[in-house]
Structure 1
């Protein structure tokens, strides 16, 4: 940068934002993040079912004409990627990230398309989760210092729910990266108030909306802080108005073109239900409703409202309990209590500094949105609570030295170790307690579906039909790569049906399961493949049943 000083041109060195100690801490965090996610990626038996939809959309971006017809297309197939974005259920951010990784994998891998697309979904999610250490560290550093930033980023990487969800084929890694960048820019904008800072925060907020529609709530943090400081005249009101305007403009520059393209706020069914509180909720196919062999009432990773079990209860009370339960699980039960302790202990700091309020306001908005989701739709998942856990990590990290000070006052021997040593010991204890659960293999109980899919790919003929209520085998068989309903010939000479012989865990959203059970019970139905292959068919977990010609 150059400026004119005293009539002559002088070079002015730009202010550095990161120094050697920052780079050392970031390098250590990246190493931990890579190790955690690499372990989970190599110990994943099967990705989450939702990953199939995201991978399918990525493949359709590569070949739009292969996508199924949509009502918005007036019966035709999408002609290009814009048509696909306009009609697809999911926003384009994460599928485009998958496509980019998928293209890269194609240069080094000869695996089948079905396998490679799901690996790409996992890698896109995990790579974004590794990069997540940078904005989390910067948020903690801006608010509390380097060591707090390091502890916050480390905690989030090793917590079981965040680590596992950001290593699966789900949107969380990319969504959290975009939203956390927006949060970091929002904190920076209110601490060093400039029009450019609010504009950048708005652009990042709009980008997060292109991954998940709820990403727009990030603007509420810096926007509310700017409004409040303007009302209190701590900022000149014209400047506060200008900063809020820059935030809104930045958000709209990215988000509005997508809204105009699709003609609404979102295509996602849950999002439209939340926006229309008077519409009847869509039916939910939970494990209890769909799988008679299952003894539990819903997925272990979520809370579902059950009309029979929960009849007579207040749905609001149930929603609060469900949200608190999922938030606690996501934060590994210790992070939020520690964060609340720090917020109470540092309450005087909130009166003098605007930065922490950005996180608090966003967390409050997220909690209220989750509560509305639970009471309106009757469902809330630990996936939905991961952003809340992330927002709690800087405060939890700031609570460690405060807790260490309190422990030292009670136990003099501990006090002699020093606050830093004690706080570091507490951090190590949290990490060690989290890792055994975080590093468990993912979805090992459902690996049989992958084997069944590979068997079907090798043995099923094009003129034969397939019914797979669990979705995975049909994907690996190549039948649902471009359309969720798969490809079945109008007149098939035989039909294959994928069934679980002994379901060990519940499944959600299986509306096709009753049809599959009915067809598998027809006379002449026979098991043609089972997994594990080295056990008797009656003891197998997954059956492939065939009806019709051999």
Structure 2
């Protein structure tokens, strides 16, 4: 039996005699080959072009983008407040990128923060393609991994996430790198790789807590190896690898948890408190236990919502291919270590999504993003099976040939990409372009001390004014009020006299207007 990281090459020794002699040459299989550099360069170039276009065409960043920029600004003024709240990793990256850019240009204005954060996120998206490519290469082969990478680059929602100011791609970079290191550690039996995987997982945990799952997968695989050790690896090295995995994770996480003053993420504490009904010490919730519904009906709704969100991320056609591809991968009789890890990844991430929906009755495309991207790795295999099936149905009695199946493969891939192209090149926030016009007016016609009541915090952010977001009741101390109205006769319900100062359409559909009203004391 040869190890997995070796392959057999038959070499002719004697060509002169009639009886040919052969010898088996066992060579170590290289992880990185010349063709891999070409594939990664192509994927990175396409991702860069699309990302730059989306950044240049951005009308409005997401609400979370505003939150992360404000957190980054607070981080240099009051870091303790940021650390004790949401994970500070992504705001720290924004702040670091902004400080680097500030060395060469004046980026103090709001647009400087926006463009710097967008470019930084795009670079993380491009970097994340590298570990994703090699994870795919180890799981499904080099060719399928390249096609999967191309699909990832051209999918509209992942592309949008990579040009917006959100933490999905930075988190995925650390998650995919950790998974790659776990696979390599098992494949090449290198105990030190597990320590690096733990360190990467710990750094990713500071960006998003879910990155800690890498340590869980490593612990499970190393536990299996400890009780069923391979011939070439003893229990002592397995134990060392396990210890290094935990130490690597603890190096960045322990100081962060010490500064934060809490161990578990808030969402996990809510689930524990809701399940037990009691809480103590760090697990205590000030607002009391929150009850969540995990009945069969609610779980069914959660499963349905999860399927819909994944289908949206993968443009439906690729979602079908992903299901077929992952089924074909998991049904293989031999349970290898990478197959065990992928099974654990699917189980844990699906479970987290179901619990999230049961708790909050909400599940977004961003929540399902890591799961969706990992499923894309199996799309080419699923498309190949769909191509063979379609080829049989179309040709009917004809002889099935490889060339016809390959043509059908390209047709299905091309069709899936065509479905997503309209959304891929749609500018972010184009459905709220009026927000920018209102923000520009406020910036030019108000002073910095004015308080603006806004239906969306992004209006005040772009206007560089202090904004108070409201739902129904407008704050009485607001100097200006921005309202979304369907009729120009509508007036805000406020205990002050008001004058309409400016109005514009929300978007090109012209179904509602944004009206700026000035309060008269």
Match of 1:246 among 204, 220, 244: 244
- Aligned in 2, Cα 1:335/1:197: closer, same or farther, shift over 3 Å? farther
- 208-217 or 312-321: bigger deviation: 312-321
- Aligned in 2, Cα 1:163/1:350: closer, same or farther, shift over 3 Å? farther
2:69 corresponding residue in structure 1: 55
Query: 1:435 offset after TM fit, Å?
Result: 2.3
Cα distance in 2 between the residues matched to 1:321 and 1:15: 42
What SS does the corresponding residue of 1:441 show, helix, strand or coil?
Answer: coil
What SS does the corresponding residue of 1:166 show, helix, strand or coil?
Answer: helix
* Structure 2 residue 497 is the aligned partner of structure 1 residue 524: yes
Query: 1:528 offset after TM fit, Å?
Result: 1.0
2:343 corresponding residue in structure 1: 360
TM-score, normalised relative to structure 1: 0.76
Q: Deviations over 1:79-102 (max 9, x none)?
A: xx4x34433x22122112212332
2:168 corresponding residue in structure 1: 172
What SS does the corresponding residue of 2:480 show, helix, strand or coil?
Answer: strand
Cα distance in 2 between the residues matched to 1:387 and 1:534: 32
Match of 2:147 among 151, 157, 177: 151
Query: 1:152 offset after TM fit, Å?
Result: 1.5
Q: Deviations over 1:499-545 (max 9, x none)?
A: 11249xxxxxxxxxxxxx9964445222112124999xx97621111
Paired residues for 1:461-540 under 5 Å: 461-480=447-466, 495-502=479-486, 520-522=493-495, 524-532=497-505
* Structure 2 residue 86 is the aligned partner of structure 1 residue 129: no
Determine if contact 2:501/2:516 at 8 Å carries over to the other structure: yes
- 368-377 or 344-353: bigger deviation: 344-353
Cα distance in 2 between the residues matched to 1:440 and 1:370: 28
Cα distance in 2 between the residues matched to 1:106 and 1:454: 24
Cα distance in 2 between the residues matched to 1:366 and 1:394: 16
Query: 1:51 offset after TM fit, Å?
Result: 0.8
* Structure 2 residue 110 is the aligned partner of structure 1 residue 114: yes
Cα distance in 2 between the residues matched to 1:183 and 1:389: 15
Determine if contact 1:408/1:414 at 8 Å carries over to the other structure: yes
Query: 1:45 offset after TM fit, Å?
Result: 0.9
The gaps in structure 2 that reach 5 residues or longer are 1-27, 279-284
* Structure 2 residue 195 is the aligned partner of structure 1 residue 199: yes
Cα distance in 2 between the residues matched to 1:15 and 1:317: 45
What SS does the corresponding residue of 1:546 show, helix, strand or coil?
Answer: strand
Cα distance in 2 between the residues matched to 1:374 and 1:473: 30
Determine if contact 1:124/1:174 at 8 Å carries over to the other structure: no
Matched residues, number: 470
Cα distance in 1 between the residues matched to 2:512 and 2:320: 44
- Aligned in 2, Cα 1:396/1:258: closer, same or farther, shift over 3 Å? same
- Aligned in 2, Cα 1:332/1:231: closer, same or farther, shift over 3 Å? farther
Query: 1:113 offset after TM fit, Å?
Result: 1.8
1:293 corresponding residue in structure 2: none
Q: Deviations over 1:316-360 (max 9, x none)?
A: 332222222222222222334323322333446461532233223
Determine if contact 2:454/2:469 at 8 Å carries over to the other structure: no
* Structure 2 residue 37 is the aligned partner of structure 1 residue 23: yes
Match of 2:91 among 91, 95, 99: 95
1:374 corresponding residue in structure 2: 357
1:318 corresponding residue in structure 2: 301
Cα distance in 2 between the residues matched to 1:421 and 1:205: 41
Determine if contact 2:152/2:373 at 8 Å carries over to the other structure: yes
1:8 corresponding residue in structure 2: none
2:316 corresponding residue in structure 1: 333
Query: 1:432 offset after TM fit, Å?
Result: 2.9
Q: Deviations over 1:217-270 (max 9, x none)?
A: 222333323323444444654444433332222212222221111011356x54
Cα distance in 1 between the residues matched to 2:135 and 2:506: 51
Determine if contact 2:449/2:465 at 8 Å carries over to the other structure: no
Moved over 6 A (4+): 279-283
- Aligned in 2, Cα 1:427/1:186: closer, same or farther, shift over 3 Å? farther
1:299 corresponding residue in structure 2: none
* Structure 2 residue 59 is the aligned partner of structure 1 residue 45: yes
Query: 1:27 offset after TM fit, Å?
Result: 1.0
What SS does the corresponding residue of 2:497 show, helix, strand or coil?
Answer: coil
Cα distance in 2 between the residues matched to 1:542 and 1:271: 40
1:450 corresponding residue in structure 2: 436
The gaps in structure 1 that reach 5 residues or longer are 1-13, 65-77, 284-306, 504-516
- Aligned in 2, Cα 1:346/1:540: closer, same or farther, shift over 3 Å? closer
- Aligned in 2, Cα 1:350/1:474: closer, same or farther, shift over 3 Å? farther
What SS does the corresponding residue of 2:517 show, helix, strand or coil?
Answer: strand
Relative contact order, CA 8 A, sep 6+: which one is greater? 1
- Aligned in 2, Cα 1:518/1:50: closer, same or farther, shift over 3 Å? farther
Query: 1:401 offset after TM fit, Å?
Result: 3.4
1:141 corresponding residue in structure 2: 137
* CA RMSD between the two structures: 3.5
- 17-26 or 409-418: bigger deviation: 409-418
Cα distance in 2 between the residues matched to 1:200 and 1:141: 20
Query: 1:23 offset after TM fit, Å?
Result: 0.9
- Aligned in 2, Cα 1:421/1:372: closer, same or farther, shift over 3 Å? same
1:512 corresponding residue in structure 2: none
- 165-174 or 471-480: bigger deviation: 471-480
* Structure 2 residue 513 is the aligned partner of structure 1 residue 541: yes
